[in-house]
Amino acid sequence: MAKFYFCGKYNQDQIHNRFNQLIIRIEEEMKIISGQSILKSFLAAALLVMSMNLSFAQVSADAGKTLFTNYCASCHAKNMKTALTGPALGGAQERWGNDADLYSWIRNSQAMIQKGHPRALELWNQYKPTVMSNFDQLTDDEIGSLLAYINGVYDGSYGAPKGGPVAAQGVVAEKKSNNWLYWVLAAFLAGLSYLLFRIIGNLKQLSAAKQGMSYEKPTLWQTLRAKGVVGFLLFALVILGGYTTVNRAINLGRQQGYEPDQPIAFSHVTHAGENKIDCQYCHDGARRSKHSVIPATNTCMNCHRAIKVGSKYGTAEITKIYASIGYDPLTNTYLENYDQLSEDTLKAIYTAWMADSYITEKGVTALDAEGERLVASQWKNLVKALTNDEKKKIQGPIEWARIHGLPDHVYFNHAQHVSIGKVACQTCHGAVEKMEVVKQYSPLSMGWCVNCHRETEVKFTENPYYDSYERFHKELQEGKRSKVTVNDIGGLECQKCHY
Ligand code: HEC
Ligand code: HEC
Ligand code: HEC
Ligand code: HEC
Ligand code: HEC
Ligand code: HEC
């Protein structure tokens, strides 16, 4: 038994009694403290903060994005600036003025037209007989989220900028939304420290009283100024600072879930999913080289020489392929000296195609006002998609925004994994065939590579590539070993992955 400092003065029973008293005092002390308003109000405040944030979270542009993709994107352009089947939604909230009317419109547009709402009539006159679907299942919060997303995309405040260096924006934005949790946690810890501080003070006072000495509880300020505490705080600051710096450095350039806007609304669902085109038909580098490579425009042309009008976007997206490579879909020929043609010449060629396709589709004899608007907005969108600050001309390769990127000091080889390791694309990239927009599925961290190398068995006996590992083959035959992992053949050696 541990020696008590008052053992000399008391017998066993007395010690026992004292000890019990002490426990009772502690319990009382705890009761007093927990009954006190500080704890209650602290807890109440924490709850308030949490509920406030939860109710904020219900209306969010991110939620709006998902809703938009699921319900609206089939008719309304994702950039909020071009008209598709329905009008561009950018600025709609202002055009309606009254939110209640706008919400009613989204839930049941035909009802608003019948009521004779001026904006509803205006829209109907432009777009009839196309009817917008009803969305009476959407809650106020969901419509609020949709509008937050629409406004955010329209004024450019939502989403990572197109192209450019792969910045860590996605990550930073994600972190922000969790910040309040840290604050609640910090407040909670501060409250807890204060409680402990009170308990310790009271215990010290108690034990001093036991010894017949007087003990003055230090004030909170005195405690905070004590050497040990200051030292500890400094230490904590250094650790925290170091941790965030390292964390930032690690996260730089690596960003799970990163999903930038692309110049063309290319969909893996349409191509790899619905039409079952093999990944390697387009990414043929994966099998034979370090890089998988994004397909060149020529690969697209294998099919899109024939598929000229899409069922989703009509001529809006596929024409971008033609304009980048100089193919005239009206005459089915490649344009001569394409590089030297002026933007006006290109405009004449491609808007003629858009207009022709509109006239055929609508069965009209000439371009009407709606058709003119559609062609104008499609052309504007095309120019924007195919040019940027550095690339002034429409002509030239499509500049896809890069999603995956390992730091320069890492060596990763697709062929090694796809052809020799026989690892499926989806193991590392997720179900790309179900992604409208490709996302980075895996963390691409060192831990991710290393863990897989530890766990994955190589197809040792099936693949002649491994014939040279005689020792392992012998051990397998003799039953001394049941499997060979990537680790066994050197997959954890630093220089295999690092230059
Ligand atoms: C089936 C196609 C279709 C879908 C899906 C669709 N819309 Fe529409 N939307 C239209 C059409 C067409 C119009 C033009 C009016 C008309 O003809 O009914 C329109 C008009 C609008 C307007 C009025 C814009 C303005 O400038 O005043 C808003 C707002 C709107 N839609 C929001 C939405 C939202 C939000 C969703 C998804 C929840 C959605 N729409 C889904 C076809 C669609
Ligand atoms: C018809 C051609 C085509 C097919 C088939 C196709 N892709 Fe793609 N893939 C593209 C294009 C174009 C891009 C660039 C635009 C984008 O990111 O959507 C791309 C981008 C990607 C990216 C992101 C590249 C980056 O920037 O880091 C991955 C990963 C990818 N594809 C994997 C797959 C997988 C896995 C399959 C099979 C399930 C597949 N692709 C099938 C054309 C194709
Ligand atoms: C073992 C994991 C793994 C497998 C399997 C894998 N990839 Fe990748 N992929 C990666 C990594 C890691 C990167 C980033 C490479 C870089 O930045 O150098 C990447 C990048 C890409 C890119 C961007 C262009 C590039 O090469 O950097 C495309 C496209 C792509 N992968 C497609 C595919 C396809 C298609 C398959 C299947 C045939 C596949 N990948 C199989 C891990 C994998
Ligand atoms: C193996 C054939 C094939 C290849 C290669 C191919 N596509 Fe497609 N693409 C299709 C099919 C099929 C559709 C569906 C057409 C439809 O909507 O009716 C389609 C649809 C599209 C659409 C949607 C059009 C719309 O309005 O709905 C776009 C955009 C597109 N492709 C872009 C590309 C790009 C960019 C490439 C090259 C990286 C490419 N495609 C390569 C077969 C292909
Ligand atoms: C899904 C599992 C998986 C992931 C994730 C993975 N690898 Fe591999 N890796 C394999 C397999 C399987 C092999 C065996 C192929 C072979 O025999 O070369 C391999 C082999 C290698 C090799 C050759 C090793 C040798 O000894 O010859 C290198 C280098 C490598 N991987 C690098 C990486 C890097 C870098 C990453 C992360 C960016 C990574 N791998 C992620 C499964 C994986
Ligand atoms: C299977 C492949 C693989 C092996 C083996 C490997 N690394 Fe890495 N390493 C990576 C990848 C991938 C990254 C990039 C991680 C990122 O961007 O976050 C990395 C990053 C690093 C970094 C930079 C810090 C960071 O997290 O970005 C250091 C330092 C490092 N590795 C050291 C080593 C050492 C030392 C070894 C040997 C004991 C080793 N690595 C073995 C794949 C590997």
Q: Measured at the alpha carbon of residue 314, what is the angle toward residues 313 and 320, in degrees to the nearest 5? A: 80
Residue 274 belongs to a domain: no
pLDDT at 18: 64
Residue 165 belongs to a domain: no
pLDDT at 279 over 80: yes
- Average pLDDT value for residue range 5-24: 58
CA 352 – CA 382 distance, rounded (Å): 14
Do residues 358 and 371 make contact, with C-beta atoms less than 8 angstroms apart? yes
pLDDT at 20 over 70: no
Residue 93 belongs to a domain: yes
The model's confidence at residue 170, banded by pLDDT at 50, 70 and 90, is very low
Buried (b) or exposed (e) across 136-146, using 16+ Cβ within 10 A?
A: eebeeebbbbb
CA 419 to chain centre: 30
Q: Which of 154, 185, 201 is at the close of a domain?
A: 154
pLDDT at 379 over 90: yes
pLDDT at 209 over 90: no
Residue 196 belongs to a domain: no
Residue 29 belongs to a domain: no
Does residue 295 have its Cβ closer than 6 Å to ligand 2?
yes
pLDDT at 146: 94
For residue 334, give the H/E element and its range: strand 333-334
Residue 376 belongs to a domain: no
Residue nearest to atom 39 of ligand 6 (CA): 494
pLDDT digits (tens, 9 = 90+) for 284-326: 888 888 888 899 999 999 999 999 999 999 999 999 999 999 9
271 C-alpha to center of ligand 1: Å? 27
271 C-alpha to center of ligand 4: Å? 6
Residue 480 belongs to a domain: yes
pLDDT at 214: 72
pLDDT at 163: 36
CA 71 – CA 148 distance, rounded (Å): 15
60 C-alpha to center of ligand 1: Å? 20
Residues lining ligand 6, judged by CB closer than 6 Å?
250, 254, 406-407, 410, 445-446, 449-450, 453, 491-494, 496-498
Atom of ligand 2 nearest to the CA of 402: 26
CA 324 – CA 339 distance, rounded (Å): 10
pLDDT digits (tens, 9 = 90+) for 433-446: 999 999 999 999 99
The model's confidence at residue 455, banded by pLDDT at 50, 70 and 90, is very high
Q: What residues make up the domain containing 68?
A: 58-154
pLDDT at 164: 33
Provide, rounded to the nearest whole percent, the portion of the chain with pLDDT above 70: 81
CATH of the domain at 69: 1.10.760.10
The model's confidence at residue 42, banded by pLDDT at 50, 70 and 90, is low
Query: How many domains does the structure of the chain reveal?
Result: 2
Q: Which of 154, 173, 205 is at the close of a domain?
A: 154
Atom of ligand 5 nearest to the CA of 490: 26
432 C-alpha to center of ligand 6: Å? 26
Does residue 275 have its Cβ closer than 6 Å to ligand 2?
no
Does residue 120 have its Cβ closer than 6 Å to ligand 4?
no
Least confident of 104-108, 127-131, 239-243: 239-243
Q: Which of 132, 154, 176 is at the close of a domain?
A: 154
What average pLDDT does the structure give for the chain?
82
Mutate to test the pocket of ligand 1, among 65, 67, 69, 72 (most ligand atoms within 8 A of CB): 72
Residue 130 belongs to a domain: yes
